[in-house]
Amino acid sequence: MQTIRAPLRYSEPSPFLETNAHDINISAPSSTFNNVGRHQYNITNHIHPSTGALAGSPSHVAPFNDAPVDQLSVHFTGRKNELALIAEAFQKRQGQNVPSRCVLFGNQGVGKSQLTYAWANATYLREENSYILWISATTVEKLYQGFSRLLRFIEHPDRSHHDENVRLEAARRWLEKVKTGNWLLVMDNVFPETLDFLRQSLPRQNGCGTILFTTRTERVALALASTAGERHTVIEVPLLDIKAGVELFYGHFESGTTDLSSAKVEAIVMAVGRLPLAISHAAGFMMESHSSLDDMLELYQSGQKINVSLFYEFSLQSC
Ligand SMILES: Nc1ncnc2c1ncn2[C@@H]1O[C@H](COP(=O)(O)OP(=O)(O)OP(=O)(O)O)[C@@H](O)[C@H]1O
Ligand SMILES: [Mg+2]
């Protein structure tokens, strides 16, 4: 089994969504789009109005993007290398009649879901995927809900069936049969408890499909990557490299508003362990509390990192 550990690389200065949009090709129809909000890309999940849709029929269904891409950070930074690895993993398996899989694993807050939103969004915008399904895989209950939601999207005749197993089977069959466009199924945050359920319920046919999983542990990742004697790609999502971390920190400030010495920002990025979640919190805290970089460094060096994060969470909640 191949586990890819992406080498740390300095990222390009501009975000992937602007710079990398033409790096990767696959194929598929239709798209529209987006709006920028305060801290997040504010993108409404939607269905293309293009086909008018004889619902539920695999040959007549309107394209849709059901990923919560409105949660994609407006400061999305780096990850060029990982995006290229995902593209490579899916491209490698084109031409087979089974959905290709790729599994991302990494610690909590390292940015797996952000990377996945970016991938899902970019492939939809590039019209490589017509259908994006996003399902939280932390519990079996959420998986049932996710597959039922898919049936509602396609207005499947079994969408209101009282038996959840009938609904699940109908969703799987639709994914296995649909030929009107490529689909991406995201299984976000797979917990060990849902592995058995996933083994039984994921679509097993259809070369138009790709499945992207995220999970926190390598053990679960390896289990997800082995199916029917096949081995799919596993990619470890690392901490941000320093340059991307600094870029993420800077992204929170309008240029020219604050004097941000890069050596001090680097020191802060290192102090929070290059964890994107913590970098965003540190930048947010600095802005909210009108602190200087020296204040921030003093805080971090005095071992009060946890308090800073908590304060920031608290200040956001009380806004
Ligand atoms: N590439 C990135 N660019 C900018 N910000 C990022 C990036 N990756 C992560 N973040 C920030 O870190 C936060 C946590 O990221 P994310 O939710 O993707 O982590 P995760 O690995 O999916 O964690 P979990 O295991 O808890 O699901 C995001 O809300 C965002 O603020
Ligand atoms: Mg996540």
Shortest-distance atom of ligand 1 to CA 214: 22
Helix (H/G/I), strand (E/B), else coil: 221? helix
Residue to mutate, 114, 119, 191, ligand 1, most ligand atoms under 8 Å from C-beta:
114
pLDDT at 257: 67
Give the number of the ligand closest to the Cα of residue 281: 1
Give the number of the ligand closest to the Cα of residue 252: 1
**pLDDT above 90 covers what percent of the chain?**
62
Shortest-distance atom of ligand 1 to CA 114: 18
pLDDT at 59: 55
The predicted model gives 162-167 an average pLDDT of 96
pLDDT reading at 197 higher than 90: yes
What is the rounded CA–CA span in Å between residue 76 and residue 280? 10
| Local confidence band at 42 (pLDDT 50, 70, 90 cut-offs) | very low
Q: Which CATH architecture has domain 3-236?
A: 3-Layer(aba) Sandwich (3.40)
pLDDT at 261: 83
Q: What are phi and psi of 231, to 5 degrees?
A: -120, 125
Domain boundaries, the chain: 3-236, 242-317
The predicted model gives 219-234 an average pLDDT of 91
Q: What are phi and psi of 273, to 5 degrees?
A: 70, 20
Shortest-distance atom of ligand 1 to CA 237: 21
pLDDT tens for residues 262-312? 899 999 999 999 999 999 999 999 999 999 999 998 888 776 554 444 444
Give the number of the ligand closest to the Cα of residue 276: 1
Residue to mutate, 17, 69, 277, 279, ligand 1, most ligand atoms under 8 Å from C-beta:
277
Contact 124/175 with Cβ under 8 angstroms?
A: no
pLDDT reading at 251 higher than 70: yes
The predicted model gives 22-30 an average pLDDT of 30
| Local confidence band at 82 (pLDDT 50, 70, 90 cut-offs) | very high
pLDDT at 312: 45
**Helix-helix angle 262-271:242-251, to 10 degrees:** 110
